Amino acid sequence: MTPISKALIWLDRKLDFVVILYLFLGLFWLLNGFDKFFNGENIINFNGYATKAAIVDMNGTVAYTFQPTEPNGWFGVNRDDKTIGYFARLGLPSELALGSLYIVGAIEIILGVAFLSILFYKPLLPKQLENALEANKAFATQTVHRLSFKASSLLFVAFMVMDILFGDRTELWEHGTFLLLTAFAYRLYIDHEQIEAVEEAQISSSI
């Protein structure tokens, strides 16, 4: 067997697909949560490739060009303005829009940390603190993690309801897709936990 084949086999065994899903959900919620608090700035893109249209004079010389505005910054979409616009369609005030936006953002950050804790909370903790967490039934039974999946699903359902009320079918499609992905990831999580429980029982009985 060649070294490349060995390396690929080792990589395949080390990459757990369920872990990748946890990582995705953790980063998804964490970054989306921060996105609610940091707005990008719309700036005009003067680059030639971005030109949408042009007006030429009688000599064929370009007199004017139409340049688009594009979000600039770590978090591109201006969530404040977008959410205020959504709520305005229903005649709701901007204060309610921003308050709801920031509450959702805080919930998303908490969910992101909870999902990432599935991957990192044991390896990064001192043994004494790890034992203390294991003594806590909410962690020892993975209740916190299961609630994270369920809270994610409820949040997506809430998003879909608002998408329908706001008339945004694109967002409705996206949130529906994420809801299905969350359900799929939850099924994998439960299967993974059941397999581990069976393996631990077999090891204990053989000792």
Given 74, 90, 123, the domain boundary residue is 74
Q: Which amino acid is at 123?
A: P
Domain hosting 63: range is: 41-74
Q: Are residues 180 and 131 in the same domain?
A: yes
Phi, psi of 142 (to 5 degrees): 60, 25
Calculate the dihedral angle through the C-alpha atoms of 107, 111, 114, 115, rounding to the nearest 10 degrees: -170
Domain count along the chain: 2
Is 192 domain-assigned? yes
Q: What stretches of the chain adopt beta strand conformation (E)?
A: 41-44, 53-56, 62-66, 69-72
Q: Are residues 70 and 84 in the same domain?
A: no
Q: Contact, 54 vs 66, CB < 8 A?
A: yes
pLDDT digits (tens, 9 = 90+) for 45-69: 888 788 888 888 888 788 888 888 7
Given 32, 54, 74, the domain boundary residue is 74
Q: Are residues 99 and 192 in the same domain?
A: yes
Q: Are residues 45 and 99 in the same domain?
A: no
Rg (CA), the chain: 24
Is 5 domain-assigned? no
Positive or negative torsion for Cα 39, 45, 47, 52: positive
pLDDT digits (tens, 9 = 90+) for 92-124: 999 999 999 999 999 999 999 988 887 776 555
